[in-house]
Amino acid sequence: MTGEGEGRSGLRSVLGGPVLTLWAKHDRDSEGWLPLWQHLEDSAAAAGLLWDRWLPVSVRRLIGAALPGGEADGRRLAVWLAGVHDIGKATPAFACQVEQLADRMRAQGLEMRSQGAMGSDRRLAPHGLAGQVLLGEWLEERHGWVPKRVGQFTVVVGGHHGVPPEHGQITALDSRQHLLRTPGASRALWRQVQGELLDACAETFGVRDRLDHWRTVELPQPVQVLLTALVIVSDWIASNPDLFPYYPQDIPRSSTERAEVAWRGLDLPPAWSAAEPLEDAQGLFSSRFGLPPGAKVRPVQEAAVELARSMDEPGLMVVEAPMGEGKTEAALAVAEIFAARSGAGGVFFALPTMATGNAMFPRLLEWLKRLPAQERTRHSVLLAHSKAALNEDFADLMRGTHRLSAVDVDAAPVRPWRPSDSSRAAPADLVAHAWLRGRKKAMLASFVAGTVDQLLFAGLKSKHLALRHLAIAGKVVVIDEAHAYDAYMSVYLDRVLSWLGAYRVPVVVLSATLPAGRRRELVEAYAGVGGQGAATGAEFDVVAQAGEYPLLTAVAPRGLPVMRRPAASGRGAPVRLERLDDGGEVLAERLAKELDGGGCALVVRNTVKRVLETARVLRARFGDESVTVAHSCFIDVDRAAKDAALLRRFGPPGKATDRPTGPHIVVASQVAEQSLDVDFDVLVTDLCPVDLLLQRMGRLHRHQRGEEQSDRPPRLREARCLVTGVDWDADVPAPVRGSVAVYGAHALLRSAAALLSHLDAGENRPVRLPEDISPLVQSAYADGPAGPDGWAEALSKAAAQHEKQRADQADRAATFRLGGVGRAGRPLFGWVAAGAGDADDTRAGRAQVRDSRESLEVVVVQRRADGVLTTVPWLAADRRGRQLGGLELPQDQVPGLLAARAAASSGLRLPIQFSYAEVMDQAITQLEELYVPAWQVKDSHWLAGQLILALDEDCQTRLAGFSLRYSKADGLEVTRA
């Protein structure tokens, strides 16, 4: 074999003899290969280019701050670690794997046993761990480092395949030196070539004279994580033969030229470089969000901007303000200021559900398009959830992006990028970049909207966790609907916040209804209370004691909290609360009275079963055309259409184009609580936790319709909320069983107690929004007694059960939760030990960070009488006018792209009945009977591996002892067979 690059500069110019026969890559199909020195040089070059042209300023600053030479040292260290990351391949345990390449080494005196003869011991010397050991020996023997300082650097090499080694693995390899160097006459030669290569890397990558300066450094654990992640990304890029060709292909003679050609092929958009906006709050909001003429920025928004600008260092800001106050816009404005001041290179907007993520994504794109021209270079953008490819806005970006062969094994390969593709850039240079679509790399995009799971995964011990940390360490993180996360999720969120504080990542937390105790937990987690050099918990008492509303709370990493108390916008209105007995006929009679003169009512039920039962009764009274159903058990495309229709009919004045003129009732589950800007004349709701009830009330008289609501029906111009789903005549209010199953008796009884003064007819005191929001929430979540004396026993029993459940949630969440930030200098050995393996956005992955049973997801199709499978018939045409309903899905071949994507858009998460182990196993067995081998190929990525639920021509089927019926109007209805 030839082609070792004679005449090159770099490593090749200082190496000779047996070291040149060490190999790093081999393609069994083409017999192409890559010398180890070349791969190390390629990886180092990739690291240097990533540092110079892609890595956010904030990450470079954090790494540089840990080293005596600042960012210049940071770059040298990153390049050097990438340049030595595969030194463990200079061992017999690795080299023996390809016999012809091993023979070439043997011919130069590097003896080794065959792979078979080496036996199972080879598994004890993976090349990452072997490289960690070799680099540690070299630092100690050649440069006099003390052992306790070595691990914090070498762990980057040991962990570059996603899992830092554990102490037991290191010990096991120490006792098997034959895996690192063949015993006997060639042992000295192995040691010589290993040392020669490490010496050459130190010289070539510019660290030989810096190693003495780094001997006493204590690298913070966050810096170790970021360096590990940077080496992983560099290795993945350098391992792509489309970018860095294997020998004996024609390779540019200059290593610099080779790297530049690869970088042009990769074509990664740079990190965002934000400039701090100079306008006042009014000007900033007008330019970024297009305020209508004469509209004024709201007090909360103005205060958030001023607080962001006044902080000594960007940190955590908690924004508590009423629904409809423009918290999203405030968060983006603060993110722009924080990014400019911190050097963050992007924004991650974390939301509670896929639906809210989909709703946020176009708003994020619109904001990006309104950034100043100098900031609107090419940006990588991502919608981060498992069904993002079905989102039309994201699909448009994907259709317009550059294409490139994927690097890691998790992403399907696509055709190589060609220069002519540059003409296909997405509008405003927003790019869903192909290389950033693999599930392990996707979050590295600069601007991301997605589910909060993606953030919580950063607190879950899992493989390649360092990449998730790099992804969030370089961004401003916005966490929306913070009240929506239960105790289980909060265990992960608090741990992630502690790491974000250590990375000095700016964070904005948004909530309309946040309990004071939870506010304190969030602030303390970020500030590192209890950690080395952090403030004490007592200094945060003010955070839990503040009762004002709206409220802004801010804290810098390791800092003390500051608070602002802006005025409300004055947009609120009193809402009269009233008890309503439970029962469908009672509800129908009351709504007939309320809607006698027309109007739009929202009825919110706590379970899908109650939604459908209620809808049947109301349709019998008002007619099918006057009742709309919305809940979570619709196929994806129908759910999206429901949300769009709700906005079109019940959205803000000027945007809603089809508001009903006659009576209309929407019966919905909890999907009506979050991120839908809809406005109703009257609200009926099942009793629920008070913060969620207030969220539901935020859909009541949300917008002004005429002077003093004169455009609403006369009897509905006063906002009224009827609370039902409870036996109000019992000695202690008794919520219906389904509500207790969802929320627990404790939260429901505390909610009822907090609302008593507003429900009692004698006092008849309305809920004043926003003034009463915080008092109600703090009362419901306080630790003291609540309600009348006669409720005490029931509340005490419910509280005991609640505390037991919370403790159980916390214990279960802690099983795979990442540890806290360790002291500086402590290596990351065992960082993700006993972890969850790979964590990703699948039903199993989400179940790890949410307190939910693993759910079953299916693709819904229809089976005609002749046995042919088709997409469900009611699917509307796509944006290009192509019909999607009723398309045939052949079982003897891969369906066409249009039909396959249309079928995939009909995904459905089965309800909780199918989440119990025995029922789930039975359901999976039955679903797997419809197994189509032709669909299980790489060209069928829309349908491969999917469970297919086939409905008959009446849209019905049976599954695991249940009867299933689906309709476009009502979604999925499940009954016992």
Query: Where do the structural domains in the chain lie, given as residue ranges?
Result: 11-239, 285-390+442-564, 574-769, 853-976
Residue 885 has pLDDT above 70, yes or no: yes
Helical spans, DSSP H, in 108-245: 115-118, 127-143, 147-158, 167-174, 187-204, 211-214, 221-238
Neighbouring CB atoms inside 10 A of 811's CB total 11
How far apart (Å, rounded) are the C-alpha atoms in residues 488 and 811? 9
Judge whether residue 466 has pLDDT over 60: yes
Res. 109 pLDDT band, cuts 50 70 90: very high
- Confidence (pLDDT) at 406: 26
Q: Count the residues in the chain.
A: 977
**Among residues 707, 697, 511, 714, which one has the least CA distance to residue 599?**
714
Q: How confident is the model at residue 837 (pLDDT cuts 50, 70, 90)?
A: low
Strand 551-555 versus strand 316-320 pairing type: antiparallel
How big is the CA angle at 767 (ends 762 and 769), to the nearest 5 degrees? 165
> Among positive and negative, which fits the CA dihedral 772, 774, 775, 778?
positive
SS3 446: coil
> Can you give the pLDDT at residue 853?
55
Dihedral angle computed from the Cα positions of residues 339, 342, 346 and 352, in that order, rounded to the nearest 10 degrees: -80
Q: What percent of the chain has pLDDT over 70?
A: 91
Residue 283 CA to residue 291 CA, distance in Å, equals 9
pLDDT at 8: 45
Q: Give the single-character DSSP code of 288.
A: H
Q: 695 with 767: CB under 8 angstroms?
A: no
Q: Which two tokens stand for residue 227?
A: 């360096």
Between 216-220, 426-430, 653-657, 661-665, the lowest mean confidence (pLDDT) is in 426-430
CA angle (188, 192, 193) in 5-degree steps: 125
Residue 420 pLDDT? 31
Task: Please write the tens of the pLDDT for every residue from 558-587.
Answer: 899 999 999 887 767 799 999 999 999 999
* Average pLDDT in the chain: 89
pLDDT band at 725 (very low <50, low <70, confident <90, very high): very high
Rounded mean pLDDT of 273-279? Answer: 93
pLDDT of residue 429: 63
Cα angle 177, 182, 188; round to 5: 95
Return the pLDDT at 852: 52
CATH fold for the domain made of 11-239: Hypothetical protein af1432 (1.10.3210)
What is the biggest distance separating any 2 CA atoms in the chain, rounded to whole angstroms? 99
CATH number, domain 574-769: 3.40.50.300
Q: State percent of the chain over pLDDT 90.
A: 69
Pairing of strands 574-579, 551-555: unpaired
pLDDT one-digit tens code per residue, 128-159? 999 999 999 999 999 999 999 999 999 999 99
Q: How far is CA 532 from the centre of its chain?
A: 29
> Residue 401 carries which DSSP code?
S
- Tens-digit pLDDT profile for residues 740-797: 999 999 999 999 999 998 987 555 689 998 889 999 999 999 888 889 999 999 999 9
For residue 402, what pLDDT band results from cuts at 50, 70 and 90?
A: very low
Confidence at residue 250, expressed as pLDDT on a 0 to 100 scale: 66
Other CB atoms within 10 Å distance of the CB of residue 958: 11
- The answer to whether 131 and 158 are in contact (CB under 8 A) is yes
Are 285-390+442-564 and 574-769 in the same CATH fold?
A: yes
Q: What pLDDT is attached to residue 403?
A: 32
What is the structure's pLDDT at 710? 93
Q: How confident is the model at residue 355 (pLDDT cuts 50, 70, 90)?
A: confident
Please report, as a single letter, which amino acid is at residue 375.
Answer: E
Residue 1 confidence class, pLDDT cut points 50, 70, 90: very low
Per the model's pLDDT, the better-predicted residue between 177 and 879 turns out to be 177
- Tokens for 400? 């317009």
The larger pLDDT score, comparing residue 415 to residue 353, is at: 353
| pLDDT of 805 over the 80 cut | yes
List the one residue out of 819, 673, 795 whose CA is nearest residue 744.
Answer: 795
Distance CA 775, CA 516 (A): 10
Give the confidence band of 738 by pLDDT, cuts at 50, 70, 90: very high
Q: Is 761 exposed, middle or buried (0-12, 13-18, 19+ CB in 10 A)?
A: exposed
354 or 288, greater pLDDT: 288
Report the pLDDT value the prediction gives residue 872, as an integer from 0 to 100: 96
Q: Please state the rounded mean pLDDT for residues 278-303.
A: 93
- pLDDT for residue 189: 97
Please give the pLDDT value at position 399.
67
Task: Pick the closest to residue 554 from 591, 580, 587, 519 (CA basis).
Answer: 519
Residue 413 has pLDDT above 70, yes or no: no
| Three-state secondary-structure class, residue 930 | coil
Average pLDDT over residues 91-117: 95
Burial 68-104 (b: 16+ CB within 10 A, else e): eeebebbbbbbbbbbbbbbbbbbbbbbbbebeebbeb
Residues 16-54 have pLDDT tens digits of 999 999 999 998 888 889 999 999 999 999 999 999 999
In 514-583, which ranges are continuous DSSP H helix? 516-527, 541-545
Residue 65's contacts (CB-CB under 8 Å, 6 or more residues apart) are: none
- Between the two ends of the chain, the Cα-to-Cα distance in Å is 69
Paired sense of beta strands 447-451 and 726-727, if any: unpaired
Q: Over 50: is that where the pLDDT of 409 sits? A: no
Lowest mean pLDDT among 375-384, 701-710, 900-909, 960-969: 375-384
CB 974 within 8 A of CB 966: no
- Paired strand residues for 348: 448, 477
Per-residue pLDDT tens for 208-254? 999 999 999 999 999 999 999 999 999 999 999 999 999 887 666 67
The model's confidence at residue 836, banded by pLDDT at 50, 70 and 90, is low
| pLDDT value of position 281 | 96
Q: What is the CATH number of domain 285-390+442-564?
A: 3.40.50.300
445 phi-psi bin (left φ>0, alpha ψ -120 to 50, beta other): beta
Q: Residue 306 above 50 pLDDT?
A: yes
CA-closest candidate to residue 344, choices 334, 329, 352: 334
